[in-house]
Chains A and B, each alone.
Chain A
């Protein structure tokens, strides 16, 4: 009981501390690839501290939904993160939620995020909410089908079980189902975290923004919570990709040395994934909104092929 509580607190702190670092790395490396100096890797921490101290301006048309949304988003994202195995094979909340609850909690956060965009009666927010809900709806079948492929191979929807099955003999690293499901989930990662080619995280032009549009009216500490939640969501989805598909170096016991080694492996995998994301962002242009379903249906077909591969390549 006490060790579980400790694991919970430790994973919570890890989530909170690591997420801004990952965002900062992505921004910095993207700038370096584009021949700019770019912000420091530690900049998001300073940004968060700055937002938390600042005054807030709230729209006169906003209701309690506007004020409640940052909390709901933050807490649902943290809960989803606590269900994901990061350093050790068993996540703190794995009894309370499996992969389906994970997706459901992220959907809950997104629901309230979209409502928070509509609340201040601004057209930007409405536009952002509309686009965000559309894209997430089209991405959902691909996400679920890829998760199903892994769950069917592992025989369970429990995330820790999926990780342990991936370490086992049947799920070989170069299995086609493995590779195809990873590719499908990578595209869904780009869609869910709002990266190019789906959304541009650095723009404020109304034609091109989706996530930024929904949070345009937020300021001060609400904005801090929302930005932090976005970083945590990115961290959690990357952890899903890293740990379920490449479960190398995940700790199986609770000694300090194995946890330390596991932390190093985890950081290595995360940075490799972040580098891949940066590469994709830099070499591609943002897609027109009505071309995004083409990309996501390609992800769906990849996931369907991954499913077919489970018995196609017996």
Chain B
């Protein structure tokens, strides 16, 4: 194959996304055709994207070419698209997600027939995928920002798809506002880089950090951290995530959590590792701290949710925190001149990026199937769905096991790599900063255990036990295309979990570009069976062997059956109900009750507000009705955003006085401005 074939496939993917947009809009009246055209073209384009990315990372080893999307006549604004290894990796993520989610969407959007316009959904869906692919492959700062804006706009349109609900509208608006705050910071950051390099293309930005003054460099770092951090959803810039992701249609939520927040990670990786050169130590420490705090706070707030999709949105914040822990550690290792360890940490962070994309999208698709059947997002109204929706339950279970970082699935592998890089970091420096590495590792362990607790709750309350409402009792299994979409993700989770050594070879051109190291050979021992950590006598793990050994150990209980329990029979009986007949669904454990111990332990963080109201006739001890409400407001909303809101409104009210309404006043303003400009020019 000639070396342009990845570029060719990428062009094909972009064109087919465009066809999807146009086709969906053209078939606005005919729902079925819009469905097939829109999501079918997304599927085909996704396959092209996967092939392009894999080719770029394996065969071409990152030497692919670039092309201009459109010849532009404006100077500095060149619409260059380049598929270098970092871009190819993220294009792989977006394409894998697009493939499975599009297949899922065939069945999912049938729920919108008759209510909403499927053609519009298909058009915006394809537009979002197109814009995201362009964000990952843009090689010019202006083009990057244009694609970024289009991505934000289409995401807003997708989030506000069901805009008849007030919750959706406010979620969409908040997303829009926060996204633009971020974009503003990005523009300033790119302008700083332009000042140092003289051109807007990414090639000219390479290692431009060395030529910038330290103050400008630090300012650029902060601007990019805020700009990309808003999109990624780091604490404290995360408040839009739990409001926007739950209200979007579930296939869009899967894309939002799976891919959109990864654009923030892509931006941070591109700027910090490609453009900025060797970082000062406080950058790595800041990113590591932000990552640790995001991880712990994200999972703590997730535990308190009983809205299934909001819970998943908070878990996205947690996983972004884990990714940032890897990136922060990599920055610290670059500063202390340990390129091998920096590469290990970078690989850990990026592996977790693709892992999170896959299992978070899987969980959102499962939640979408449940929402489709039971018409509610509230976990407290579900239950017993495992018997009525067995395949969906199985897919959700695999996603839950993966996100809790349990062996042998993919979440365990990326957390293992993160732990190894943090542990080896202790020996890299003599200063007290090295204490951060094991303490971050301990916090990572805390988030992993809390995530497992949260998903026991989510899976247990939603799928197990008895149905808690009529809808749950009559739920129907999801349609075959939905199961197929989820099944693709299950297969991806299993593949990435059992064969990490194979997948790690894809990282070689990427790390070669960013840190100059290729680690996949050092991370593999025993003929590719086990994953190592670049040390000679270091720990090794082989999830494939663990899985196979587990299967080999199955005969042990079976032999015990044969010897002892051959004549034992099994009866079906009622659950132990303490002798009172009839266990009702009201007697089951609720989601709120499940997380009560955590709520009590972290009371200082949550500050739960409880309200009890009782109505009584004669005496409060004989109440006729009792109403109990428990409410947790996010600490950042109450302590940062609300006061900020109030301060801005107060300032605006003061400034309102300027708008006096009289023509005289406005003329005087113009005159004063003119005088000031003349004096300034003097």
Touching in the complex, A and B, CB below 8 A?
yes
Give the Cβ gap from A63 to chain B, nearest Cβ, in Å. Answer: 5
User: Which one of A64, A98, A217 contacts B540 once the chains associate, using CB atoms below 8 Å?
Assistant: A98
User: Which one of B435, B444, B465 contacts A61 once the chains associate, using CB atoms below 8 Å?
Assistant: B465
Give the Cβ gap from B459 to chain A, nearest Cβ, in Å. Answer: 7
**In the complex the two chains form, what is the Cα distance from A12 to B600 in whole Å?**
41
Residues in A whose Cβ lies below 8 Å from that of B576: 122, 124, 216-217
B546 touches A130 (CB 8 A): no
Tell yes or no: B564 within 8 A of A by CB: yes
Residues in B whose Cβ lies below 8 Å from that of A298: none
Tell yes or no: A1 within 8 A of B by CB: no
Task: Decide yes or no: A95 and B542 within 8 Å by CB, A56-B570, A104-B405, A137-B446 being known contacts.
Answer: yes
User: Which one of A111, A156, A220 contacts B401 once the chains associate, using CB atoms below 8 Å?
Assistant: A111
User: Which one of A52, A65, A101, A290 contacts B597 once the chains associate, using CB atoms below 8 Å?
Assistant: A290
Tell yes or no: B18 within 8 A of A by CB: no
Comparing A141-149, A255-263, A267-275, A276-284, the segment that makes contact with chain B is: A141-149
Tell yes or no: B445 within 8 A of A by CB: yes
> Quick one: closest B residue to A224, CB to CB?
B560
B442 touches A141 (CB 8 A): yes
Tell yes or no: B317 within 8 A of A by CB: no
User: Which one of B530, B577, B597 contacts A130 once the chains associate, using CB atoms below 8 Å?
Assistant: B597
Tell yes or no: B26 within 8 A of A by CB: no
B588 touches A126 (CB 8 A): yes
A145 touches B419 (CB 8 A): no
Residues in A whose Cβ lies below 8 Å from that of B596: 130
> Quick one: closest A residue to B430, CB to CB?
A311
Tell yes or no: A231 within 8 A of B by CB: no
Q: Give 1 or 0 for each of A100-141: 1 = CB within 8 Å of chain B CB.
A: 110111011011001100111111111101110110111111
Tell yes or no: A307 within 8 A of B by CB: yes
Residues in B whose Cβ lies below 8 Å from that of A100: 416, 419-420, 539, 541
In chain B between 159 and 206, which residues have their CB closer than 8 angstroms to a CB of chain A?
A: none
> Quick one: closest B residue to A126, CB to CB?
B589
Tell yes or no: B469 within 8 A of A by CB: no
**In the complex the two chains form, what is the Cα distance from A121 to B582 in whole Å?**
12
> Quick one: closest A residue to B542, CB to CB?
A96
Tell yes or no: A74 within 8 A of B by CB: yes
Task: Decide yes or no: A63 and B387 within 8 Å by CB, A129-B456, A136-B449 being known contacts.
Answer: yes
User: Which one of B464, B556, B563 contacts A118 once the chains associate, using CB atoms below 8 Å?
Assistant: B464
Tell yes or no: B638 within 8 A of A by CB: no
A107 touches B594 (CB 8 A): no
User: Which one of A55, A103, A123, A137 contacts B587 once the chains associate, using CB atoms below 8 Å?
Assistant: A123
> Quick one: closest B residue to A149, CB to CB?
B438
Give the Cβ gap from B300 to chain A, nearest Cβ, in Å. Answer: 10
A55 touches B568 (CB 8 A): yes
**In the complex the two chains form, what is the Cα distance from A121 to B600 in whole Å?**
24
**In the complex the two chains form, what is the Cα distance from A54 to B573 in whole Å?**
15
> Quick one: closest A residue to B445, CB to CB?
A144
A133 touches B452 (CB 8 A): yes
**In the complex the two chains form, what is the Cα distance from A35 to B44 in whole Å?**
76
In chain A between 70 and 107, which residues have their CB closer than 8 angstroms to a CB of chain B?
A: 70-71, 74-76, 78-79, 82, 93, 95-101, 103-105, 107
Tell yes or no: B681 within 8 A of A by CB: no
Tell yes or no: B406 within 8 A of A by CB: yes
Tell yes or no: B443 within 8 A of A by CB: yes
Give the Cβ gap from B113 to chain A, nearest Cβ, in Å. Answer: 32
Tell yes or no: A17 within 8 A of B by CB: no
Q: Give 1 or 0 for each of B576-602: 1 = CB within 8 Å of chain A CB.
A: 110000010101110001111110110
Give the Cβ gap from A210 to chain B, nearest Cβ, in Å. Answer: 11
B568 touches A54 (CB 8 A): yes
**In the complex the two chains form, what is the Cα distance from A157 to B526 in whole Å?**
18
**In the complex the two chains form, what is the Cα distance from A119 to B387 in whole Å?**
11
Comparing B221-229, B327-335, B547-555, the segment that makes contact with chain A is: B547-555
In chain B between 409 and 446, which residues have their CB closer than 8 angstroms to a CB of chain A?
A: 412, 416, 419-420, 423, 426-427, 435, 438-439, 441-446
B530 touches A95 (CB 8 A): yes
Residues in B whose Cβ lies below 8 Å from that of A63: 386-387, 464
Residues in B whose Cβ lies below 8 Å from that of A82: 549
Tell yes or no: A239 within 8 A of B by CB: no
> Quick one: closest B residue to A154, CB to CB?
B537
Give the Cβ gap from A52 to chain B, nearest Cβ, in Å. Answer: 4
Tell yes or no: B609 within 8 A of A by CB: no
**In the complex the two chains form, what is the Cα distance from A26 to B430 in whole Å?**
45
Tell yes or no: A179 within 8 A of B by CB: no
Give the Cβ gap from A97 to chain B, nearest Cβ, in Å. Answer: 5
> Quick one: closest B residue to A293, CB to CB?
B601
Tell yes or no: B630 within 8 A of A by CB: no
Tell yes or no: B572 within 8 A of A by CB: yes
Residues in B whose Cβ lies below 8 Å from that of A105: 407, 546
B464 touches A115 (CB 8 A): yes
Tell yes or no: B575 within 8 A of A by CB: yes
Task: Decide yes or no: A137 and B450 within 8 Å by CB, A79-B549, A105-B407, A148-B442 being known contacts.
Answer: yes
Give 17 CB contacts A-B under 8 Å. Answer: A53-B565, A57-B573, A60-B573, A71-B554, A75-B550, A96-B542, A96-B545, A107-B448, A111-B456, A115-B464, A122-B588, A126-B588, A152-B423, A155-B537, A157-B423, A158-B537, A221-B565
Considering the complex of A and B, which 8 residue pairs feature the smallest CB-CB distances, nearest first?
A: A126-B589, A98-B539, A157-B539, A118-B460, A52-B564, A133-B453, A121-B465, A144-B445
Task: Give me the interface of B with A, judged by CB distance under 8 Å.
Answer: 383-384, 386-387, 397, 401, 404-407, 412, 416, 419-420, 423, 426-427, 435, 438-439, 441-446, 448-450, 452-453, 455-457, 459-461, 464-466, 525-526, 530, 533, 535, 537-542, 545-546, 549-550, 553-554, 556-557, 560-561, 563-565, 567-577, 583, 585, 587-589, 593-598, 600-601
> Known pairs A134-B598, A293-B601. 12 more at Cβ < 8 A?
A16-B556, A57-B570, A61-B465, A75-B556, A95-B540, A110-B452, A114-B460, A118-B465, A121-B583, A129-B456, A130-B457, A137-B452
